[in-house]
């Protein structure tokens, strides 16, 4: 069997080099553990970027996928299929939204929301409403429509001209008002900026964004691709009792590793994308929907969403202790549920620290320049969280002593 070195050599020859992966080739996983081609065990506290919500190789999810694959995978959207209908019903029941559109990724769910907003106003004869208000450091995906809304220069550079989008500082409600105009069709916002550095919305901000959209007749689109499906300790990051969007996007954790994205809308927007105006060949296929239904069942059966809130508090305390122990390298901790960022002091580079954490056998991710991001599978144990934070502590102590010596 090929080991890491052989596989990495072949990868470097054959894979398109748009990524910069660590030289580790994984071959299997179980829960929060991954095993590479040399047989080494790793502790996974990033869950494939908040995707593997029920952990690796969950037997219930694996069995649901296997059974559905052996029954019916795909029929196209010229016809209905049962798991698709049941998933739409389940998601609407859990969120209070009324209509579900399925696609294959977070980017596609956001692209659908953008087209929904444009077409909603087009159909009402308000054809001047084409501009979107989005936020600096936001991440909404990489297709040209979604990229237009993404507020991060390094992803946008070289791909212009992009669509008409005004980027406002996240949290700046006066800035939203200043950017508003009769040509705005929608505001798109994350409940907590994930890729942008694990930045929770300031208090009152989302309510202010909702009010601004309402007073100018624009739609509010909520990107819950990273925060939805239990990650923040509630089914939606936005919560049940707070404000609501006109449409929301889900993806990442929804399929537990199987690709699926979803746009949920209110009934009032059901006519905005009439038959033929938008679609997807693969979107909502029976196999992807069976995977998502199994994930929802596992979240319920194992009480993983309440668990995310409780274990998130445990992780927060561990990280806060780290900040107290290593004030020279750690600045603060922020996040919610099982999505946390450890903010490093200016001058430290998250990517460099990650290499040291990796040499301890622990996998976490960067978020922005100097934030270490923890997004473990929701099945993580408190012992695994302790193991991970201890490894990060050792890596950071190393960098602290290097800094002191330098
Ligand atoms: C990851 C992410 C996306 C893009 O999702 P893909 O599945 O990579 O297309 C969009 N929005 C947010 C908030 C994300 O975290």
194 lines ligand 1 (CB under 6 A): yes
The answer to whether 166 and 179 are in contact (CB under 8 A) is yes
At residue 401, the pLDDT reads: 60
Query: What's the CA gap between 136 and 114, in Å, rounded?
Result: 17
Task: Pick from 134, 226, 368, 373 the residue to mutate for probing ligand 1's pocket: most ligand atoms within 8 Å of its CB.
Answer: 226
Res 1 pLDDT > 90: no
pLDDT number for residue 406: 43
Tell me the C-alpha distance between 125 and 243, whole Å.
28
In sequence order, what are the beta bridge partners of 336? 339
How do beta strands 41-44 and 362-363 pair?
parallel
How many Å apart are CA 282 and CA 300, to the nearest integer?
A: 27
Residue 241 is predicted with a pLDDT of 54
Calculate how far, in angstroms, residue 297's C-alpha sits from the geometric centre of ligand 1.
Answer: 23
How far does residue 226's CA lie from ligand 1's centre (Å)?
A: 7
Q: Looking at residues 108-120, what average pLDDT do you find?
A: 98
Tokens of 283: 């979107």
Whole-angstrom distance, CA of residue 395 vs CA of residue 366? 14
307 pLDDT higher than 50: yes
- Compute the average pLDDT of residues 66-86: 98
**R_g of the chain computed on alpha carbons:** 21
**The tokens of 302 are what?**
């194992």
Q: Is the dihedral of CA 57, 60, 65, 70 positive or negative?
A: positive
Q: Which of 182, 173, 166, 178 is nearest to 211 (CA)?
A: 173
The single-letter DSSP state of residue 256 is B
How far is Cα of residue 256 from the mean position of the Cα atoms in its chain?
12
195 lines ligand 1 (CB under 6 A): yes
Beta carbons of 146 and 135 less than 8 angstroms apart: no
Q: What is the pLDDT of residues 117-166, one digit of tens each?
A: 999 999 999 999 999 999 999 999 999 999 999 999 999 999 999 999 99
pLDDT at 402: 56
N-terminal to C-terminal alpha carbon distance within the chain = 43
User: ω into residue 284 within 30 of 0, thus cis?
Assistant: no
> Which residue shows structure tokens 């208090």?
203
Q: What is the mean pLDDT of the chain?
A: 96
Residue 400 has pLDDT above 70, yes or no: no
DSSP letter at 242 equals S
Q: Which residues pair with 371 in a beta bridge?
A: 343
Phi, psi of 362 (to 5 degrees): -120, 135
Q: What is the mean pLDDT of residues 72-83?
A: 98
Counting ligand 1 atoms within 8 A of each CB, the residue from 237, 252, 261 with the most, and so the one to mutate, is: 252
- 247-294 residue pLDDT tens: 999 999 999 999 999 999 999 999 999 999 999 999 999 999 999 999
Is the pTM of the predicted complex or chain greater than 0.85?
yes
Written as one string, the DSSP assignment of 2-60 is: --HHHHHHHHHHHS-TT----S--EEEEEBTEEEETT--EEEESSHHHHT-TT-BT-HH
Q: Best of 195, 229, 238, 248 to mutate for ligand 1, by most ligand atoms within 8 A of CB?
A: 195
Cβ–ligand 1 contact at 225 (below 6 Å): yes
pLDDT digits (tens, 9 = 90+) for 22-33: 999 999 999 999
Count of residues making up the chain: 406
pLDDT tens digits, residue range 188-245?
Answer: 999 999 999 999 999 999 999 999 999 999 999 999 999 999 999 999 999 855 789 9
Q: Is the CB of 137 under 6 A from ligand 1?
A: no
Which atom of ligand 1 is found nearest the CA of 141?
A: 4
Q: Report the distance separating Cα 38 and Cα 67, nearest Å.
A: 31
Pocket test residue of 18, 19, 52, 106 for ligand 1, highest count of atoms within 8 A of CB: 106
Q: Rounded distance, CA 165 to CA 187, Å?
A: 9
Distance CA 209, CA 219 (A): 10
Distance CA 15, CA 5 (A): 15
Q: What are phi and psi of 28, to 5 degrees?
A: -160, 170
Nearest to 137 by CA among 175, 106, 168, 174: 168
Nearest CA to ligand 1 atom 11: 140
SS3 content of the chain, % helix, strand, coil (to 5): 40, 20, 40
Are the C-beta atoms of 134 and 166 separated by less than 8 Å? yes
Spell out the alpha helix ranges (H) of 15-58: 47-50
Atom of ligand 1 at shortest range from CA of 146? 10
């Amino acid at each position: 069997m090929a080991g890491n070195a052989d596989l990495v050599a072949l990868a470097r020859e054959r894979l398109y080099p748009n990524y910069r992966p660590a030289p580790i080739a994984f071959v299997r996983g179980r829960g929060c553990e991954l095993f590479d081609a040399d047989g080494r065990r790793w502790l996974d506290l990033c869950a494939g970027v908040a995707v593997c919500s029920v952990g690796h190789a969950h037997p219930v999810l694996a069995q649901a996928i296997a059974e559905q694959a052996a029954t019916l995978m795909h029929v196209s959207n010229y016809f209905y299929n049962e798991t698709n209908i049941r998933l739409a019903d389940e998601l609407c029941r859990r969120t209070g939204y009324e209509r579900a559109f399925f696609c294959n990724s977070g980017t596609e769910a956001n692209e659908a929301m953008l087209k929904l907003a444009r077409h909603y106003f087009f159909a009402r004869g308000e054809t001047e409403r084409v501009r979107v208000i989005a936020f600096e450091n936001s991440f909404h995906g990489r297709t040209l429509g979604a990229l237009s809304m993404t507020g991060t220069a390094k992803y946008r550079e070289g791909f212009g001209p992009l669509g008409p989008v005004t980027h406002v500082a996240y949290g700046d409600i006066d800035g939203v008002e200043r950017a508003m105009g009769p040509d705005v069709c929608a505001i798109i916002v994350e409940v907590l900026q994930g890729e942008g550095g694990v930045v929770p919305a300031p208090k009152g901000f989302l309510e202010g964004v909702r009010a601004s959209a309402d007073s100018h007749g624009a739609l509010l689109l909520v990107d819950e691709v990273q925060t939805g499906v239990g990650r923040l300790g509630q089914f939606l990051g936005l919560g049940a009792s707070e404000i609501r969007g006109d449409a929301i996007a889900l993806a990442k954790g929804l399929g537990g590793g199987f690709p699926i994205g979803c746009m949920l809308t209110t009934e009032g927007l059901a006519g905005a994308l009439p038959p033929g105006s938008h679609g997807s060949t693969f979107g909502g296929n029976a196999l992807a929907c069976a995977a998502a239904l199994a994930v929802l069942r596992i979240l319920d059966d194992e009480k993983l969403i309440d668990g995310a809130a409780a274990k998130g508090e445990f992780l927060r305390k561990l990280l806060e202790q780290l900040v107290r122990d290593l004030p020279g390298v750690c600045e603060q901790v922020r996040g919610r549920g099982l999505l946390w960022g450890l903010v490093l002091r200016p001058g430290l580079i998250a990517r460099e620290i990650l290499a040291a954490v990796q040499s301890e056998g622990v996998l976490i991710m960067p978020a922005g320049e100097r934030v270490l991001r923890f997004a473990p599978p929701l099945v993580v144990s408190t012992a695994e969280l302790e193991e991970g934070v201890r490894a990060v502590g050792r890596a950071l102590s190393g960098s602290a002593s290097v800094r002191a010596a330098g």
